[in-house]
Amino acid sequence: MLRDITGAKLLKEKEDQLERAYFWNELASSMSHEIRNPLVAIKTFSQLLPQRYEDPDFRAEFSEQVTAEVDQLNHIIDKINEFANPPKPVFNPLDVRKPIEFAVARIQTELDHDHLKIHLSSDDSSVEINGDSASLEECIYHLLMNAAENLDNKEGSRINVTVKGYSPEKSRGKIYIIISDNGSGIDESLRDKIYSPFSTIKARGLGLGLPIAKRVVIDHNGEIDVETSSGGTTITIILPTFKEGE
């Protein structure tokens, strides 16, 4: 029995090491790709500068383009730092609907999507958890932003956010946050690596939304599940309810 337990523990440690190695290899590969794009643009303009220095239109374009690319590099670095060094969560009794409402308000303020409708609903069950409001808001915000960007303000775009105190199929003591959209689903080429940083087909995007959301859910001792198809995507977050003494 002791040998069996020791063997299982060693196998688990090996799997964790391989998973971490894969994660950092993916991160390094994706980072190099993201950083290379702005550097190529800067290098191209720099090489042309001696030949076209006397052209005022080129100088103006050079200044504008290089500044934009440097800003993009700084943005990438800032996001990587935020991802690598998140604030330590502070847990308190919390109505889980509050950070969701804040996240929806942020999306509606930032996006000028007149065709997008976001509908919130919840049942009458208790929806109190032991949670960190700021990180949960960030989690929901990223998931909503991913959905909104996929919908791309098409006519009839809709995101439903549902909070349930329990699932009929499962026991009480859990809270379910269900975010579903009627978009085209996650691109098929990304479905096997949706939690890997930088997995995105957007021209200007870091693909950190789902990795950040997953980390927040894990910090809250929860689970996250993604179902996607050409008819839309549904993300289910399962969190433990608040218990006295936690």
- Judge whether 102 and 138 are in contact, CB under 8 Å: no
The pLDDT of residue 73 is 85
- Residue whose pair of structure tokens reads 């006397």 in the numeric block: 54
CA atoms of 216 and 166, how far apart (whole Å) = 20
Please tell me the distance from the alpha carbon of residue 215 to that of residue 154, in angstroms, as a whole number.
30
Of residues 138, 117, 93, 143, the one with CA closest to residue 244: 93
- pLDDT value for 139: 92
Q: How far is C-alpha 193 from the chain's CA centre?
A: 13
Position 113 scores a pLDDT of 84
Q: Give the whole-number percent of the chain exceeding pLDDT 70.
A: 73
Q: How many angstroms separate the CA atoms of 55 and 37, rounded?
A: 25
Look at residue 38 in the predicted model and tell me its pLDDT.
85
**Greater pLDDT, 18 or 53:** 53
- Residue 169 above 60 pLDDT? no
Q: Among residues 108, 107, 115, which one has the least CA distance to residue 182?
A: 115
Q: Identify the CA nearest to 117 among candidates 134, 132, 104.
A: 104
Residue type, 206: L
Average pLDDT over residues 147-175: 81
- Rounded to whole angstroms, how far apart are CA atoms 197 and 27? 6
- At 206 the pLDDT is 47
What pLDDT, on the 0 to 100 scale, is given for residue 18? 61
pLDDT score recorded for residue 30? 64
pLDDT-derived band at 118, boundaries 50, 70, 90? very high
Residue with the bigger pLDDT between 242 and 132: it is 132
Summarised one tens digit per residue, pLDDT across range 40-91 is 888 888 898 888 988 999 889 988 988 988 888 887 787 777 776 777 889 9
Give the residue carrying structure tokens 């950040």: 212
Q: What is the mean pLDDT of the chain?
A: 80
Q: Can you tell me the mean pLDDT for 142-168?
A: 86
Q: Is the pLDDT of residue 204 over 60?
A: no
On the CB side of 72, CA atoms within 13 Å amount to 20
Contact 108, 68 (CB under 8 A): no
Give me the percent of the chain exceeding a pLDDT of 90: 26
User: Concatenated DSSP letters for 221-236?
Assistant: T-EEEEEEETTEEEEE
Q: Are 73 and 35 in contact (CB under 8 A)?
A: yes
Residue predicted with more confidence, 113 or 170? 113
